[in-house]
Amino acid sequence: QPCLTVAYIMNSDIGWMLETVETLTGPETWPAWCHQMELIFDQFDLLEYVDGTCPKPGAIAQGSPIPVCEENVPSTTAQAAKPTQEEIKQWARRDHLAIVIIHQTISGDVLRRISSAQTSHEAWQSLRNFCEPQGIAGLISLRHKLKQTACEDENGVNEYLSAMSQHRWMLSRIGHQMS
């Protein structure tokens, strides 16, 4: 698989994909943005960097299982302990690409929230913590929003269905299902 660089990505199919992604401006745009981004990351084999299942080579704790990430699959036990400079460089390139993609699709206000993130996973986690409801308080808040969602008139049916779909998605993200 060829190494994907920022120049390659911006000159390929992902360039127009990023133009169609709704800008993340805060929690209200998170469900649509998150879904679109997960699809893009998956398409370009970057999701494992963003979700943390492919940590930086060498950052694996002693005795931990080695993650299934093509850059981190060593051929010997000795390589597992000390990754090569090329493995680290390739991981850094792909992780940086994921961060660039995130930065290209978020507002300036949201960007300030993740400016200190060193990896795409740290940036993603910061965005999740900011945008997704957490714990019992998040569940209560979502259920309240769900109960308050109403269809104002005939013209608002699509907006109502969209809001209900977002509430359902958010509830499923924190482990609760709507029946």
**Residue 173 and residue 135: Cα distance in Å, rounded?**
11
Q: How far is CA 179 from CA 100, 130, 141, 171, 176, in A?
A: 38, 27, 18, 11, 10
Task: Find, among 99, 128, 105, 120, the residue nearest to 21 by Cα.
Answer: 105
Q: Is the pLDDT of residue 79 over 60?
A: no
DSSP 63-86: TPPPP--GGG--SSHHHHHS--HH
Q: What is the pLDDT of residue 63?
A: 42
3-class secondary structure, 26: coil
Percentage of the chain lying above the pLDDT 70 cut: 61
Backbone angles phi, psi at 128, to 5 degrees: -60, -45
Sign of CA dihedral 121, 123, 124, 126: positive
Torsion angle of C-alpha atoms 138, 140, 141, 143, degrees rounded to 10: 120
Ranges of H-type helices in 21-107? 30-43, 47-50, 77-81, 85-104
The pTM (predicted TM-score) of the whole model is 0.66
- Residues whose CB falls within 8 Å of the CB of residue 173, separated by 6 or more in sequence, listed in order: 132
**2 burial via Cβ count (<10 Å: 0-12, 13-18, 19+):** exposed
Residue 5 binned pLDDT confidence (cut-offs 50, 70, 90)? very low
Q: What confidence tens digit (pLDDT) does each residue in 109-129 have?
A: 999 999 999 999 999 999 999
